[in-house]
Amino acid sequence: MAEARLEAVNPLYFKNLREHVHGLLRGAIVAGQFRPEERLNERGIAAELGVSTTPVKEALRRLEAEGLVTTQPRRGIYVAFGEAQAEEMTLARAALESTIARLAAQRIDDRAIAELEGCARMMAEATASGDVRLLIALNTQFHQAIHAASRCTYLVRLLEAQKLYDQLARQALLSDEAERAHALAEHGAVFAAVSRRDEDAAEQAMRAHVLRSGRSHIARAFRRNATPAAAAASPVVGQTIRMGEPANGN
C-alpha cells in the first residue's frame, strides 16, 4: 500500500465537506504531495479521505478552474502544478515584495517603524522559544506591516493571487529549526533597511529573502523524493496515485 499523502477528513468538517475536501486537495497539490502530470484517481482519493466521490469530483472541477489540474479527454484528470510553476510564483513574489519593500522604505512613518520593530522583536522571541504557530502568524504580520507602510494597493492585490501558496510554503519552511534561523536573520535585514529608509537595501534584502526561502521550499516540496534519473526526466503520466488501483480506474 502506498504511503498516504492526505489525512482522513475530520467528522467535524462534514457540514462544510465540499470546501474541506477542496482545501485538502489544493493544499496537497501546491505543497508538492502529487507529482506534476500525475493522474488523479477519484476513487482512490475518496477512499483515502473517507468520503464519497461526489465532493472529490466537485473539488477537482474547482481545481481545474484554478489551473491546478487539467482534464485530458478519455484519459482522466492530471496535476498541472509543479516545480516550474512554483519557481515562477517565487520569482513573481520576489519582484512584487521587493518593490513593495522599496516603497515602504520611502514612505514609512515613525509609527509604522515602531509597529514593525515590535513585530520583529516578537518574531525573535518566538524563534527562540520554538513557537512555530506563533511565528507563522508573526511572519505574515511582518509582511503585512511592510505592505501597509508602502501604501501600495495594486501590487498588494497582485500578491493575493498566490496567497495560498505563500501560506503553505511558510508553514512548511518554518517547521524547520534551521529555516527559522534563516528567516529571522533575513527579516531583521529587511527591518533594518526599511527603518533607516534605505530604499535600495530594503529592496535587495526582501528580494534575497523571498528567493532563498522560495527555492528552499521548492527543493523540499518537489525534489525530496527525486532520484537522479527522475530529476532529469518528466514524471510518467498515467500511473496510479496510491493503493495499487489500476490506472484506468476512476
What is the amino acid identity at position 240? T
The pLDDT value recorded for residue 168 is 82
Q: Domain spanning 84-222: which CATH class is it, in words?
A: mainly alpha
The pLDDT value recorded for residue 74 is 87
Helices 199-222 and 177-195: crossing angle in degrees, nearest 10, is: 160
Q: Which residues of the chain have pLDDT under 70?
A: 1-2, 9-15, 224-250
The pLDDT value recorded for residue 228 is 36
Please work out, in degrees rounded to the nearest 5, the angle formed at the alpha carbon of residue 8 by the alpha carbons of 3 and 10: 155
Residues of the chain with CATH 1.10.10.10: 11-81
**Beta strand extents in 16-138 (DSSP E only):** 39-40, 69-72, 76-79
CATH code for residues 11-81 = 1.10.10.10
Indicate the burial class of 248 (C-beta count within 10 angstroms; 0-12, 13-18, 19 or more).
exposed
Enter the pTM of the model.
0.75
Residues of the chain with CATH 1.20.120.530: 84-222
